[in-house]
Amino acid sequence: MKTSFSGRANVRDRTNALESMECGPGNFRPLARRMRGMRPDVPGTTGGMSLLAVAGIGAGIMYMLDPVAGARRRSVMRSKLFHAMRKGDHAASVSARDVANRSRGMAARLRRLFHRDSQVPDSKLIARVRSAIGRCVSHPHAIEVDAYDGRVVLRGPVLRQEVDDLVSCARAVEGVREVENETKMFDRPDDIPALQGGQTRPTRQGRFLRENWTPATRVLAATAGVAALAAGISRRGPIGGAVTAFGGGLLLRALTNLPLKRLLGIGAGPRAVDVQKTINIDAPLDVVFDFLSDFESYPLFMHDVKQVRVHDDGTMHFVVAGPGGANVGIDVAIVAFVPNELIAWTSPPGQIVADAGVARFDVNLDGSTRVDIKMTYNPPAGALGHAAARLFGKDAKTFLDENLLRAKTAIETGRLPHDAAALQK
């Protein structure tokens, strides 16, 4: 088969002609693709990715079927899976109720748009205004509210800097047609009994600027994040990368309900991840307190704590096994120590891992001891770093769970764990 080209045929026409040739052993499609700048098919790429996937699956199976620790790992995995399922079911139920309630509220507001001329009873209007000003001023009990046919009168003492917010809140109430301000304004609350105490009301923020998002807001943000993530992945280049990053960040913010400073650990202080653990130990209170307050003996029953040095100024230095077998030094300062009651600590400034917490000791009715520990810490990369460390079992939650169980066993049985850090050669 012969194909002729005129001298005026351009490269595009030649490429199309070459691409259309299907006969004979020498198919010209690869040549046409190269002429267009397209990369030809690379054999073996799909096979290489499949090999990596198979290797990853095999490594996971070996990890879960390990003859020494496999049973425990599978049990922990099942517990985490059931826990995640329960949390997901609860979150879905709460989100559905919140969305339904807000939908009914929005429908009620839309209906009121067509009935603005309807008269609101004075008693109901007063209740609405009192509820609204409670979120606007620091001493709402000092404000007297009266209503007459949609006209609201405000009386009583109020701080001068809160007057504008007070009037604005009252005027925004549904059914209010006019607001008369007859309050007495004061620059300071000195010598004014009604203005003593109270709490300054925070500035109202948009729903996406708050630290804790409502379930409906999280559903909306997660939906938008998934859409942005899909759009960014389908579109290459810098714009696609920016959209992908935005969608991923928004989705992560919605799923965790944590602000970005806690997610990334930047500017969050010690509070990026909250950890709580309560355990009952079948031993007298003084025995449990003495055991857990002897900090230098921690390597005798803890696996990851290799050394503890107590200084004369009340600070301590812990040497802890971190991810990958690397040792991590942590300094802690005791800020409260009440025998048989509580121990509180915090980390000095400049620590790589900032943390603070309190341990409380109480006697149960049966004579055993309840230990309740609440702590917060900020590892590198914040909550994301905590999630990465948890994959290796090196996060604070796992550390607290395992070592409190070790302490319980040691106190109740009188035997130290065979794999304690001090017993390792």
Quick: pLDDT tens for 96-122. Answer: 888 888 888 888 778 777 765 567 888
CATH number for the domain harbouring residue 145: 3.30.1340.30
* CB 147, CB 122: distance < 8 Å: yes
Reported as a single tens digit per residue, the pLDDT across 194-208 is 888 777 666 665 666
Same domain, 234 and 167: no
Pick the most confident of 197-206, 217-226, 391-400. Answer: 217-226
Residue 424 has pLDDT above 70, yes or no: no
Q: Does residue 48 lie in a domain region? A: no
- pLDDT score recorded for residue 76: 73
Element (H, E) at 169: helix 163-171
Distant-in-sequence, close-in-space partners of 335: CB < 8 Å, separation ≥ 6: 344, 345, 346
Per-residue pLDDT at 48 = 61
Task: Establish if 19 belongs to a structural domain.
Answer: no
Q: Inter-axis angle of helices 396-413 and 382-391, to 10 degrees?
A: 50
Tell whether 7 is covered by a domain: no
Which CATH number characterizes residue 297's domain? 3.30.530.20
- Residue pLDDT, tens place only, 234-287: 887 888 888 888 888 888 888 888 888 888 877 777 778 889 999 999 999 999
Asked if residue 37 is part of any domain, the answer here is no
60 within some domain = no
Residues 283 and 373 in one domain: yes
Handedness of CA 79, 80, 85, 91 (dihedral sign): positive
Q: Are residues 291 and 391 in the same domain?
A: yes
% of residues, the chain, pLDDT over 70: 83
How does residue 139 score in pLDDT terms, banded at 50, 70 and 90?
confident
- Mark whether 362 and 278 lie in a shared domain: yes
Residue 21 pLDDT > 50: no
- Among residues 181, 355, 369, 347, the alpha carbon closest in space to that of 292 is found at 369
- The distance between the two most distant Cα atoms of the chain, rounded to a whole number of Å, is 108
Q: What is the pLDDT of residue 11?
A: 45
Asked if residue 419 and residue 277 are part of one domain, the reply reads yes
321 lies in the same domain as 392: yes
Q: What tokens appear for 22 in the block?
A: 């299907």
Residue 98 lies in a domain: no
Is residue 368's pLDDT more than 70? yes
Task: Say yes or no: 250 and 279 in one domain.
Answer: no
Q: What's the domain range around 411?
A: 273-423
pLDDT tens-digit map of 61-85? 877 787 877 787 788 778 878 877 8
Number of domains in the chain: 3
Answer yes or no: is 209 within a domain: no
Check residue 343 and give left, alpha or beta (phi > 0: left; psi -120 to 50: alpha): beta
In this structure, are strands 178-186 and 151-159 parallel, antiparallel, or unpaired? Answer: parallel
Summary mean pLDDT of the chain? 80
Output the pLDDT for position 83. Answer: 76
- pTM comes to 0.58
The answer to whether the beta carbons of residues 226 and 208 sit under 8 Å apart is no
Q: Do residue 163 and residue 240 come from a single domain?
A: no
Residues 234 and 375 in one domain: no
Please check whether residue 308 lies inside any domain of the structure.
yes
pLDDT average, residue stretch 138-150: 89
417 in the same domain as 278: yes
Q: How confident is the model at residue 14 (pLDDT cuts 50, 70, 90)?
A: low
- pLDDT one-digit tens code per residue, 319-349: 887 666 678 888 889 999 999 999 999 988 8
Query: Do 315 and 414 sit in the same domain of this protein?
Result: yes
